[in-house]
Amino acid sequence: MNSDGRDSHPIKRGVWLLERVLHDPPPPPPPSVPDLDTNNPLLANMTLKEKIEHHRNLSACSGCHEKIDPWGVVLENFDATGKWRDMVKVNEAAEPRQIDASSTLPDGTEVADFPAIAEYIRDEKESELMSSIVHHLMMYGLGRELDIIDEQEAKSVEKTFRASGYKFSALIKAIVQSDAFTNRLEHEAELTLGAQAHD
């Protein structure tokens, strides 16, 4: 997931983790910023992590990449198909090198690898993780993006979820009993009428 078909892609993976796991999507990149050119001969002997760091140092949006890249780098032990790997070849002629999946997160926390980031998210980002689960499960249940009113109700659902000790059954029950879910057809009809009136 989130590879280029041949190798991993720490930036895409970092964006995915922020969006889907922590519910903290980064802003979209400016249109003028070029993609990482992995075919640049100056980068031929660099690992993907080193290429990302090089790109970040040259990029006009290094501030954004400092928020994104660390989350993707810790997933470097997973190849383009998600298979675990300990070694990687930076090019066809090179000898395999040990993967360095260590990263310094935006808050300064240093993590060594994927198990370390999983532990960090569990221990330090529990609230963000649970909020993300509520948000995405409500989106799935409603079959659409959440609007402002839904977001307010999601906070109430999250409160119920937290009070239950994060029992998944309590979360499902809170979602299906929410006004957004029980009255979703009426809500969708209102949105359709509003869109038609606007046109």
Q: pTM score, two decimals?
A: 0.76
Lowest mean pLDDT among 32-41, 65-74, 84-93, 165-174: 32-41
> Rounded distance, CA 128 to CA 121, Å?
9
Residue 7 has a pLDDT of 79
Average pLDDT over residues 18-30: 88
**SS3 for 160?**
helix
Number of helices (H) and strands (E) in the chain: give both, helices first: 9, 4
Q: Where are the domains of the chain?
A: 10-124, 126-198
| Least confident segment among 12-26, 29-43, 110-124 | 29-43
Residue pair 81/93 in contact by the 8 Å Cβ criterion:
no
User: With 90 as the cut, is the pLDDT of residue 175 above it?
Assistant: yes
Instruction: Calculate ∠ Cα 47-49-55, nearest 5°.
Output: 105
